[in-house]
Chains A and B, each alone.
Chain A
Amino acid sequence: MLKEDKVISIISIFGTALAITMIMVVILSQRIKTTNIAPEINRERTMYIKWLKEETSSSTNIIPVSGSEYKQFLQDLKTPECVSLQSRQQAMVSVENNPENIKADVMETDSNFWIINRFSFQEGKPFSKEDFQSGFPHAVISKSLAQRLFNGNPALGKEFSYKERNYKICGIVNDISTLCDNAYAQIWLPCTAVEKIEDGEFSITILAKNKKDFSEIKKEVREREIRNNPEIDTKKISFIGPYSRKELLVKEGNMNNDDPNMKKDTIKHYLIIAILLLIPAVNLSGFSLFKIISRTSEIGIRKAFGATQKSILLQVLYENLLTSLIGGIIGLITSYWVAIALKDRLFTFNIYDHFMGENTIPVSAFLSPWVFFYVFLVCLAMNLLSSGIPAWKASRLNIADSIKQ
């Protein structure tokens, strides 16, 4: 029957392919943001605080976490394994004997950063806890930046200039994909070497011993807020978070909402995903339904010349299985292409972040055959149901009536 109506068959195949592509890309964009990717190998037990709410008698502001608030409220949390702070910026760096100023993504952080993230060191090692505590100007840089700064010459132990201070390179790491939005940079240095912690603004990363501790960590942060808000009458500080990776995904674009239960955000997020997944699937079902209804007369003619209800049903199901299979294969290939073509738009937390680096992780790494299998199964089931049920009904119609339609 496939070759009998080529246009309808082609539309059906590409409809299936499109539905699978759309669903795969949506799932892929979710997976990429939550799956462990080196060096962010502890994503499933990491929590984040990016903002806090400062309430005074006259105003309420959502502002970044300052170094002093970090020290006052978060530095010595007891429940987590460790707490780290990061501040990322783009700045010009330069080296002696190279007149070119190079723009680079710089992360000012602490030594716990190296515990939370596991980097692959080409040479050297990370800056130490002592370096951080003393504000010693050590830095880790990426391999490609080292090559650019020193024209391919050895870089370990050499110095570069950042914010009018020289930093000694203590380690060189493989380039980090921009998909690792929390660990990504081209230069990592102790924030204490740049300025006093109290003067900076940071994102806070909390590594739990176990993801089961998340609620306990949240509880401890809330306790700290109560305990460390001495000027509660004049100024009250409450942190937005900490949130797990999955919670951040839910809250994407809605950081002002500090609803601790996140019920509304979660429902909204999964509702949007469900609609995104349902739209192509329902369209596909609608098309299958239309296809069968438009063939009611043909079904009647076939029955008039000896087709049984079973043979009609099997024929329709076989045809749909075949179109779904071909559509599935095309869908898998196109979802891979679409994912690659749109990776910078689809797979970053914040599309307004313009990193100097690249996404060095192939999208194929996230294309799980199981995800494809389940997506294909859903599309196939919808295809078979949406064509099988009307085909079954049409095959039971009075033949004389079917032929007239």
Chain B
Amino acid sequence: MPIIELNNVHKIYRTKEIETIALENVNLLVNRGEFLSVMGPSGCGKSTLLNIIGLLDAPSQGMVQLNGRDTSGLEDKTAANFRNKTVGFIFQSFHLIPSLNVLDNVQIPLLYSSARGINRTSRAKEVLEKVGLSHRMKHFPTQLSGGQCQRVAIARAIIAQPEIILADEPTGNLDSKTGMEIMELLFGLNREGTTVIMVTHDEHIAKQTQRIVRFFDGRQVE
């Protein structure tokens, strides 16, 4: 059974004046443990696809299934539970909370799960160790380099041990060397069994993944 299944997904943004089709008739199956790259020019709907899979946005039409469950019309609490336990997001611009230090940023997903305080801290230290940032726990995002911020974002994405990692251009704001280090972390997670879907512009990086899906003007072209 695929872990992610998209059937006839459309996403249309409407304003009073115009209607923009971001995704058109997208059908996609992603198997458990797969590492998938999503490629295409800017504005072709890659990030929208990721947002829809991660329940950050809802499709205008079509069905999205996660772990075999239809996610359309989910109650806020159930959708939040999916975002908390099943999906982990990594953003191009990191989206760390600037007023929180590294340790507190990483713990955010556990605040909304049943994990207790002491377990939260030890688990956060554990994942920071894994991404090689245990020596920066008390630092704030502004005191870190771009690569370090992305490591914090990865630690935050994996702390609740989600089955799916959605990475939206995770190396887009990083130099090539740091980008490769981040990719190594993602490949490591994938080897451990996590399904990874990554949006990227980098053909070289995409070729290292198991499958590439290409988009153009909201349509899946490959």
Contact = CB atoms under 8 A, between A and B. Distances in A.
27 contacts: A4-B100, A5-B99, A297-B95, A301-B95, A301-B97, A301-B108, A303-B80, A303-B83, A304-B89, A304-B95, A305-B83, A305-B109, A305-B112, A305-B156, A306-B83, A306-B109, A306-B160, A307-B80, A307-B111, A309-B76, A398-B56, A398-B57, A399-B55, A399-B56, A400-B51, A400-B56, A403-B56
A331 B104 CA distance: 32
Contact of B76 (A305, A308, A403): A308
B84 interface: yes
Most buried by A among B48, B56, B89: B56
A72 interface: no
Contacts of A5: 99
B45 interface: no
Interface of B: 47-48, 51, 54-57, 76-77, 80-81, 83-85, 89, 91, 95, 97, 99-100, 104, 108-109, 111-113, 156, 160
A25 to B, nearest CB: 34
Given A304-B89, A306-B84, A308-B80, A298 B97 contact: yes
A5 B108 CA distance: 16
A304 B80 CA distance: 8
B108 A308 contact: no
A310 to B, nearest CB: 8
A311 interface: yes
Contacts, number: 63
A42 B111 CA distance: 61
Q: Which 7 A-B pairs have the closest CB atoms?
A: A306-B84, A306-B112, A399-B56, A305-B109, A308-B80, A5-B99, A4-B99
Contacts of A303: 80, 83
A305 B120 CA distance: 14
Nearest to A7: B99
A211 interface: no
A246 to B, nearest CB: 50
Query: Chain A: interface residue count, which band?
Result: 10 to 19
A304 B57 CA distance: 10
Interface in A281-328: 297-298, 301-311
Contacts of A310: 76-77
Given A306-B83, A398-B57, A4 B97 contact: yes
A304 B99 contact: no
B108 A305 contact: yes
Nearest to B107: A305
A208 B51 CA distance: 77
Contacts of B156: 305
Nearest to B52: A400
Contacts of B56: 304, 398-400, 403
Contacts of B91: 403
Contacts of A400: 47-48, 51, 56-57
Given A4-B99, A307-B112, 8 more contacts: A4-B104, A301-B108, A302-B112, A306-B85, A308-B76, A398-B57, A400-B57, A403-B95
A297 B113 CA distance: 21
A306 B113 contact: yes
Contacts of B84: 305-306
Contacts of B113: 306
Nearest to B86: A306
Contacts of A297: 95
Contacts of A308: 76-77, 80, 112
Interface in A17-72: none
Nearest to B80: A308
A284 B1 CA distance: 55
Interface in A143-179: none
Nearest to A5: B99
A400 B93 CA distance: 13
Given A301-B95, A305-B84, A399 B76 contact: no
B120 to A, nearest CB: 13
Contacts of A398: 56-57
Contacts of A309: 76
Contacts of B99: 4-5
B61 to A, nearest CB: 16
Nearest to A305: B109
A298 to B, nearest CB: 5
B22 to A, nearest CB: 11
Contacts of B160: 305-306
Contacts of A307: 80, 111-112
A293 to B, nearest CB: 15
A398 B48 CA distance: 12
A304 B56 CA distance: 6
Interface in A355-404: 398-400, 403
A304 B84 CA distance: 8
